[in-house]
Amino acid sequence: MQKTPTFEDLFRDCRRTAVHLETRDAYMKSDPAFIDWAAGKPLDPVERWAGWHALVTEATSRGVEVRRARIVSTPIGEYIRFEHEVTEALNIAAGEQVRWLTRRAATDIALPGNDFWLFDSRLVLVNHFDGEGENLELELSEAPDLAKLCETAFEAVWQRATPHAEFRPL
């Protein structure tokens, strides 16, 4: 029987690309880091998410292109403000490329119904969340049609999106 790979396994086995599309305006508001940030406590993203930072740094150092695109409503809400604030120290510093697209600018892009990670243009890890943005489950698929849909959607968003350094949240 073949073991189901973990997220970390998928990332470590990735050879060329790992892309992530985020379409929600809030995720896991129960996250202690978000709660601390909302309360005004100092936050060191690299320290708080050391495992993530190390995983991305390892992947990018071996040549994997890691890109994340976020579709957001404007004016942005508190959670997206939090994400925007930690992106430079957490994602960009690890070698990830991040772009932002306003929801209004995404109206005519055909998008999958869920957030996803796409590894090497062939493995799709679908993220399922509840109505409050809490993570419910991950679903792994090797379906070629789904991978193509996700790749096409991601690239359409990426081409229109604003690089993190230039994005000014409203």
DSSP 76: -
Residue recorded with tokens 């379409």: 23
pLDDT in tens, 96-139: 999 999 999 999 999 999 999 999 999 999 999 988 888 889 99
Best CA proximity match to 63, nearest among 97, 16, 7, 95: 16
Evaluate whether residue 1 is within a structural domain: no
pLDDT in tens, 130-156: 888 888 899 999 999 999 999 999 999
Domain that holds residue 152: 7-166
List, in sequence order, every residue forming a beta bridge with 18; answer none if it has no partner.
66, 119
d(CA 159, CA 45): 28
Query: Into how many domains does the chain fold?
Result: 1
Give the CATH number for residue 116: 3.30.870.10
What are the distances in angstroms from CA 113 to CA 38, 83, 125, 129? 29, 21, 13, 11
User: pTM of the predicted model, to two decimals?
Assistant: 0.94
Evaluate whether residue 25 is within a structural domain: yes
Please, which pLDDT band fits residue 59 given cuts at 50, 70 and 90?
A: very high
Q: Do residues 46 and 86 make contact, with C-beta atoms less than 8 angstroms apart?
A: no
Evaluate whether residue 2 is within a structural domain: no
